Amino acid sequence: MNYKKLDLNTWSRKEIFDFFSKTEDPFYMVTFRQDVTELYNWAHENSKSFYCAMIWAVTEAINSVEAFRVSMVNGSPVLLEERIPSFTDLKKGQENFYIVTMERDNDIRRFCDSAKRKSQDQNFFIDLSREEDNLIYISSLPWIEMTALKNERESTGEALKDKTIPHISWGKYVNENGRKILGLSIEVNHRFIDGYHIGKFAENLTQIIRSL
């Protein structure tokens, strides 16, 4: 996990960070509707998994906004070089999901192929050796049209407050006037990320999808 240290005393966000550090639970969630038409079309035309393509697009959009790459190491803020995807998946005919963690790749075709292969080859629930703070937790509920989602938290107190991994989930896409629309939920820590940054993420995600 590569990063550079930030000076807490000169960090431009220090006052906001200190304010939300006083709250018991600094996490909040936003759900918005995302047009994924071009991504759906690209996946269909190139015989790639829509899910893998969406993971790629979300990963690129997260990394494009610096605030999402801020983490905590030994109680001090750092700027991560990048965040990598850690996503849930489900093999056909099974009910128990598993979690796949892999490297980021700025080539969507190569990423989709690698993600599909890695997921198919995995025969265990999770690789705990990959559980570092540079992840993006990603999941999908393709069976329902999602309007909101709250994630579990594995710790409390100060340990919880230092968690910076964004949680991103989406539901089933629906057809509206010839477009593919889905509900996308993002949960973040307010000590590090504001609504402005979520707005930039959404804007950049849309641009990435349309560029396909």
Tens-digit pLDDT string for the chain (212 aa): 899 999 988 999 999 999 999 998 899 999 999 999 999 999 999 999 999 999 999 999 999 999 999 999 988 999 999 999 999 999 999 999 999 999 999 999 999 999 999 999 999 999 999 999 999 999 999 999 999 999 887 766 677 889 999 999 999 999 999 999 999 999 999 999 999 999 999 999 999 999 99
- Residue 202, domain CATH: 3.30.559.10
Inside any domain, residue 116: yes
Tokens at 84, concatenated:
């990598």
Inside any domain, residue 2: no
Tokens at 78, concatenated:
């750092």
Inside any domain, residue 194: yes
Inside any domain, residue 29: yes
Inside any domain, residue 74: yes
Q: What is the pLDDT of residue 159?
A: 73
Q: What is the pLDDT of residue 158?
A: 72
Inside any domain, residue 105: yes
Inside any domain, residue 8: no
Tokens at 111, concatenated:
């990423």
Residues 139, 169 contacting (CB under 8 angstroms): yes
How many distinct structural domains can be found in the chain?
Answer: 1
Q: Which domain holds residue 76?
A: 22-90+97-210
Inside any domain, residue 150: yes
pTM assigned to the model: 0.96
